Structure 1
Amino acid sequence: MSEKEKMLSGQPYFAGGEELFNERQHAKEVLFEFNALSPKEVEKRNELIQKLLGHTKGEFFIEPPFRCDYGYNITLGKNFYSNYNCTILDCAPVTIGDNVMFGPNVSLFTAGHPIEPGPRNEGIEFAHPITIGDNVWLGGGVIINPGVTIGDNVVIGAGSVVTKDIPSNVIAVGNPCKVLKEIPK
């Protein structure tokens, strides 16, 4: 099994191999061009990013700069908006629902490293998917950790670090992020 196959299946993998390195380099080249385009060149930016991302369902707008590891593991629902400085480490699938907004400096991390120093020092990583439901707003500076699912109709307060799943129809805040209150239906 290749390191890429291990990565995509959720097994520990070595990220420093040639195949994964080359794929990250390709994403960096595309993102370098995307991030350097004039603000007027929205269509060209969207064309570039659509070729890099796994799937886009409809209208979206990503403010540069934007960073990701591979791109092909990211799925955007319709009507997605990301403010400046979004980072998505997409070593595992990242699925974002419809009508989702990210504030500035939002980071989604599917990748992690072993707690034990031996494997970590050898370059071993793991990756777990992140899923974000429909009608979600992530405030500025929110961090989503590996393996987290956020339900529908959720607001995550600015600066929150989400380490566990968040149910639908709530406002959640803090580090670690916890449900503050339900949102009336």
Structure 2
Amino acid sequence: MIKRSSMNIFATILLVALLASYYMFTERKTSSILENQALKTLDSSLAKQNQAKFLQTYEKTPLNFEENTGQTDSQVKYLSRGNGYNLFLTANKATLSLKKTKKRLLNKEENNAIMAVEMAILGAKPNANVVGEEEAPGKSSYFIGNDPSKWKTSVANYTKVRYQGI
């Protein structure tokens, strides 16, 4: 038969072990929660700083004009796209389509056109020659659909567009 004092010692050791395990688990869990909250706050702060730097750089970026090789309406000779706008240049007018950006879940954005402005030069020739100048280092590509023959790759971009013989 087991002595009562041995049973008390065993129960005490078991109780201490259970309490130590419980304490270690809850301490680790609480510590982990606090670390996660600190990381989220740090990530949020860094994200805001990075976003501000990106916007400062983006504002200084010059317009690029893409040659239309079939990625949009055939009347468009060159187009420029940016955050909140599309600019379409045809032989006789320029159309600026402004967009309102709405934040959606998961920080994705949805763009909805809210206004378009068309500009034309009075008395200009109806079919001026539109030419891209100063080719930019970047190229654009459009992979729409499954048919590679319809894909547009290495579309030239220019920093300037000139209307000749208006």
Question: Shorter-chain TM-score category?
Answer: under 0.3
Compare the two structures and name the one with the higher strand fraction: 2
Larger relative contact order, structure 1 or 2 (CA cutoff 8 Å, min sep 6): 2
Structure exhibiting the larger radius of gyration computed from Cα positions: 2
TM-score if structure 1 supplies the norm length?
Answer: 0.20
Compare the two structures and name the one with the higher helix fraction: 2
